[in-house]
Amino acid sequence: MPLCNMTDLMRAAEERSKAVGAFSVSSLEMIRGTVRAAEEMNTPVILQVAQVRLPHAPLYLLGSAMLTAARHARVPVAVHLDHGVALPCIREALEMGFTSVMFDGSSLPLEENMQTTRRVIAMARPYGASVEAEIGVIGKTEGGQERAAVCASVEDSLRFLKETGVDALAVAIGNAHGVYTGAPKLHFDILAAIRRQDRTPLVLHGGTGISDEDFRRCIENGVRKINIATAAYGAVYEAARNASDYFHMSDRMEEAACQVAKRHIGVFGAFSLS
Ligand SMILES: [Zn+2]
């Protein structure tokens, strides 16, 4: 099964009222474990890495491995750059063959966020790649810096979708990156109100710590891509700590990434494209 376009996967998920799991990867073990999970569950998957994680695994190396793994997978795999903030980094991912990129302009004023999102869309189109953007403020940054969550307004979100034509939109609904300090309180009404007027796929960030029930409510309200990073990094780290030697560590890391992906795919809904 070839490397897949992310919009195609989200469209297929929409038809089936499911969501595609998007798992962060930073090593061969995480890539292999995640792809194996998708293969064993016979479902598409999104491999992604956030720009902030690239100092640990540079794009030219990690991205090549992600793309090669996707091309060799037995299930459809999209390869996505998460939280791209620098346009040269987004360009590099597109040049390499990533089938999707995110421009994160959530720290910018709305007009500027929309303007740069439009630039990124113009950049991505010749490559046939999808573009995800973000509106509102998702608690904590992807890199773990503190910041207060601010829910996106429905009006701004609808305007954003209409004026940019972005392929997927991450809407802040009280969700946060990293580990939640209390039980997250998600505002599903925001998703529902957007969806009543616009069917663009929505994206949920900060998936770690959200209950299965809340995942399902997000999916009912139009979320088609769910990001999991902290749960995967945490499980892989724990697995590595308890290993007896390097190769045992490598096996355990892959298995941990596989289990995290499987557990989440089980909630998001496995499906076959054919
Ligand atoms: Zn995120």
- Is residue 106 within 8 Å of 141, Cβ to Cβ? no
Predicted confidence (pLDDT) per residue in 84-107, tens digit: 999 999 999 999 999 999 999 999
Residue 242 is predicted with a pLDDT of: 87
Q: Which of 8, 82, 212, 251 is catalytic?
A: 82
Centroid of ligand 1 to alpha carbon of 203 (angstroms): 9
The candidate with the shortest Cα–Cα distance to 33, out of 190, 214, 199, 265, is 265
Distance 102 CA to ligand 1 centre (A): 10
pLDDT at 220: 98
Q: What Rg value do the Cα atoms of the chain yield, rounded? A: 17
Q: Is 42 strand, coil or helix?
A: coil
**What's the CA-to-centroid distance between 16 and ligand 1, angstroms?**
24
At 143 the pLDDT is 84
- Burial label, 209 (beta-carbon count in 10 A; 0-12, 13-18, 19+): middle
pLDDT the model gives residue 205:
95
Ligand 1 centre from 262 Cα, in Å?
20
Note whether 23 and 40 are within 8 A (CB): no
Q: How far from 274 is each of 21, 30, 42, 52, 247, CA to CA, in Å? A: 18, 26, 11, 35, 37
Candidates 270, 272, 267, 242; CA nearest to 256 is: 242
Beta strands in 99-140 (DSSP E): 100-103, 130-135
**What burial class does residue 31 get, using C-beta atoms within 10 Å of its C-beta: 0-12 exposed, 13-18 middle, 19+ buried?**
buried
Domains belonging to the chain, first-starting first, are: 6-268 (3.20.20.70)
112: buried, middle or exposed (CB in 10 Å: 19+, 13-18, 0-12)?
exposed
For this structure, is 82 an active site residue? yes
Task: Specify the pLDDT at position 142.
Answer: 82
User: Cα separation of 222 and 31, whole Å?
Assistant: 27
> Measured in angstroms, how far is the CA atom of residue 205 from the centroid of ligand 1?
5
Low-confidence ranges of the chain (pLDDT < 50): none
Identify the pLDDT of residue 224. 98
